[in-house]
Amino acid sequence: MIEDIRKDCDVRMHKSIDALKVELSKIRTGRAHVSILDHVSVDYYGSMVPLSQVAKLSAEDSRTLSVTPWEKEMVGKIEKAIMTSDLGLNPSTSGLVIRVPMPALTEERRKELGKVVRTEGENAKVAVRNIRRDANNDLKNMLKDKDISEDDERRGQDLIQKLTDQCVTEIDKLVAEKEKELLEV
């Protein structure tokens, strides 16, 4: 029973870490990366679809993304969708290829993004701690129902605390790496 709680706790905590990784990947650094355009949607025959479903996305170099639509008619719509997104990008079209230059990050913007990274990290830590609280409550309820002994409850709480510490350490490491990446010029 305690092992089931620990496994569930482990799975949920690692999902929180995976969610943090996804959020951090959306925060742009100085380098061009196609994941920056992940949340851009385009009007495709009356329905909004992700940009990656109507065009080939690639990084031409460290500062330029290339968007090649599957259909010629989509060029204008894709260009408009990128311009109106909250990314602050100005695409330029040459024939069928849309090039999206990435503006250089200013020092002020880098510090701002660093704060966003730390906030995301703190949110992930809160999620992990909430999972720990839920697991400890489950253990207390099992003790109250006399399903486990006090020693078993203590051992279970220690296991969950070790797991929590490992996850918090991993979150700190991810945040530090992303901050370092942001400050690189």
Say if residue 22 is in the same domain as residue 110.
yes
Q: Which pLDDT tens digits describe the chain residue by residue (185 residues)?
A: 888 888 999 999 999 999 998 888 777 666 677 777 777 888 888 888 888 888 888 888 878 888 898 888 888 888 888 888 766 678 888 888 888 888 777 787 788 788 888 888 999 999 999 999 999 999 999 889 888 888 888 999 999 999 999 999 999 999 999 888 887 75
Do 179 and 111 reside in the same domain of the chain? yes
Full-model pTM:
0.67
Q: Which of 101, 117, 139 is the last residue of a domain?
A: 101
pLDDT tens-place string over residues 164-178: 999 999 999 999 998
Q: Based on the fold, state whether residues 19 and 110 are members of the same structural domain.
A: yes
Cα 104 versus chain centre, distance: 22
State the CATH number of the domain containing residue 130.
1.10.132.20
Taking CB atoms within 8 Å and a gap of at least 24, the contacts of 102-108 are 102/28, 102/30, 102/31, 102/32, 102/36, 102/63, 102/64, 102/65, 104/30, 104/63, 105/28, 105/29, 105/30, 105/182
Domain total of the chain: 2
Residue 120 sits in the same domain as residue 158:
yes
Residue 89: CATH number of its domain: 3.30.1360.40
| Domain interval for residue 147 | 2-26+106-183
Whether 139 and 95 share a structural domain = no
| Residue 77 shares a structural domain with residue 121 | no
Do 146 and 80 share a structural domain?
no
Same domain, residue pair 170 and 126:
yes
